[in-house]
Structure 1
Amino acid sequence: MSNIPLVIHIASKLGTLRKQFVFVGGSIVELLLDKFYPLPPRATMDVDTIVEVYGHGSFAGIEAALRKLGFKNDISTGVICRWHIDGIALDVMPTDPKILGFSNYWYKAAIKNAKPHFLKPELDILLITAPYFVATKMEAFDGRGEHDFYGSHDLEDIITLLDGRESLLDEIIESESDLKSYLVKKFKDYQKNTYFINALPGHLSPYQTGTDERVERLEKIIAKIVEAK
């Protein structure tokens, strides 16, 4: 099941306000995959975005704009960054951790390096780049993954991207030095972790055959990342 209709609907409802948002998270994995790659197996129930604001006053302005557009803040689920419109959930996460009590180290740089992406004619969004997507997912896994290499959606998204984006290796190698160093270190840790290696087959798309060959290919890609200078 494609998640893109959800992204399109949210982007349309945001109107020009979407220019302040960068789309991240599991709902946009498909947009980062090569066109030939089968759809990822995981359907998401929400659309994740990040916004660069500093202080409660600035974020209050974003919240007011969302309400004016018809979005309703819903904290009943315990997710304090969640908004709803037309039955679709939108998570809005600020770069300033003081606002909601959490953030992700890579959000600021991800916003700075985001690229325009057309969902359809006359409807574009700012999209996180693939290397920053991987970095944000790695940090998220460290924070909430509880070392569950088999059940983590964050790791599933990382592995899906490794498997389905041919250019990812070169993009990581050509990344900014701090991002590259982080990714190399994390993949080096993963490479040494038996649980991670054993979890690879379970996170691959079931819409393709040759799991053993694809796992071997992933291990080679990770090895090349780890060897990057």
Structure 2
Amino acid sequence: MPTESRNLPRLMAVAHALGPLRDQVVFVGGATVNLYSTATGPTPEPRTTDDVDCIVEVAPLSAFHRLEEELRLLGFTNDTEAKFIGRWKAPNGLTVDIIPTQPILGFSNEWYPAGFVHAVPYRLPDATTIRILSSPYFLATKLVALRNRGWQDLWISQDLEDIVHVVDNRPALMQEVADAELSVRTYISQQLTELFGRPELLDVVEGVLPPGSGYERKYEVGRRLRQLINSSI
């Protein structure tokens, strides 16, 4: 079961700040990692993130601008120091990235559109319900991010760390991927197959597992990753 991650208060605070817009977004990214933990007993604390990411299905650009006005009415302000225009400051000071599923701002993730469609509800500890990516689409979006910003050096990839955390703490993941749409199954299989071509992979896995996990744990995670390849075919 999920632990009381330090990311949970951020998620709850942002969910409340979004108010009536909460049902229009899907929460994604590192802040949601712990929500996928379903292993029996407490799970390790995932990495703490500095921001909360949400995706929203708005197009064309004029529709996104209308959404921006709604955010401002709720007290959100543009983060003028950010490198892209989708970053906001919530009224409570938290950083929130609002990312359209389509690349109308010049960037996106190829699995955001389908992930948005297949999003699932999640009840937070304070009884607030948000939507998050289903586990196969979370995995696919993280594999895209790994390819785009962490492939050159797996040792420093936060996306690989998130992937390992979910694989290690969600026993049903293999079946959930096997039951997913063919396109996302195929993508997961292809990317994980390439990942296993990296000779350092299992050593990196061992490095991101919590201290005290035991030497054999990395092989269990490796076995599950290979199961994902097979379940995705």
TM-score normalized by the length of structure 2:
0.92
Question: Could you tell me how far 1:122 is from its partner in structure 2?
Answer: 4.8
Match of 1:51 in 2: 56
- Is the CA contact (8 Å cut-off) linking 1:106 and 1:136 kept in structure 2? yes
One-letter amino acid of the structure 2 residue matched with residue 217 of structure 1? E
Match of 1:14 in 2: 18
Match of 1:90 in 2: 96
One-letter amino acid of the structure 1 residue matched with residue 140 of structure 2? A
Question: Could you tell me how far 1:151 is from its partner in structure 2?
Answer: 0.5
Select 1:223's aligned residue among 223, 226, 229: 226
Mark the runs of 5 or more structure 1 residues left unpaired by the alignment: none
Alignment partners' CA distance in 2, 1:32 and 1:226? 19
Tell me how large the CA RMSD over aligned residues is.
Answer: 1.5
Question: Could you tell me how far 1:126 is from its partner in structure 2?
Answer: 0.8
- Is the CA contact (8 Å cut-off) linking 2:46 and 2:162 kept in structure 1? no
Kindly indicate whether residue 30 of structure 2 is the aligned counterpart of residue 29 of structure 1.
Answer: no
5 Å-filtered alignment, 1:50-199, equals 50-85=55-90, 86-97=92-103, 99-120=104-125, 122-199=127-204
Question: Could you tell me how far 1:143 is from its partner in structure 2?
Answer: 1.4
CA offsets per residue over residues 103-159 of structure 1, 9 Å max, x none? 110000110000111114551111111111111011112112252101011111001
SS in 1 for 2:99: strand
**Poorly superposed stretches of 4+, deviation over 6 Å:** none
Number of positions where the alignment pairs a residue of Structure 1 with one of Structure 2: 226
Question: Could you tell me how far 1:79 is from its partner in structure 2?
Answer: 3.5
Alignment partners' CA distance in 1, 2:50 and 2:224? 30
CA offsets per residue over residues 1-22 of structure 1, 9 Å max, x none? 5200000000001112110100
CA offsets per residue over residues 188-222 of structure 1, 9 Å max, x none? 1112211322211111123xx33322111111112
Question: Could you tell me how far 1:227 is from its partner in structure 2?
Answer: 2.4
SS in 1 for 2:123: strand
Alignment partners' CA distance in 1, 2:138 and 2:205? 18
TM-score normalized by the length of structure 1:
0.93
Alignment partners' CA distance in 1, 2:25 and 2:222? 34
- Is the CA contact (8 Å cut-off) linking 2:26 and 2:133 kept in structure 1? yes
CA offsets per residue over residues 41-70 of structure 1, 9 Å max, x none? 411110000001111111011111110000
Match of 1:4 in 2: 8
- Is the CA contact (8 Å cut-off) linking 1:137 and 1:154 kept in structure 2? yes
SS in 2 for 1:40: coil
- Is the CA contact (8 Å cut-off) linking 1:41 and 1:205 kept in structure 2? no
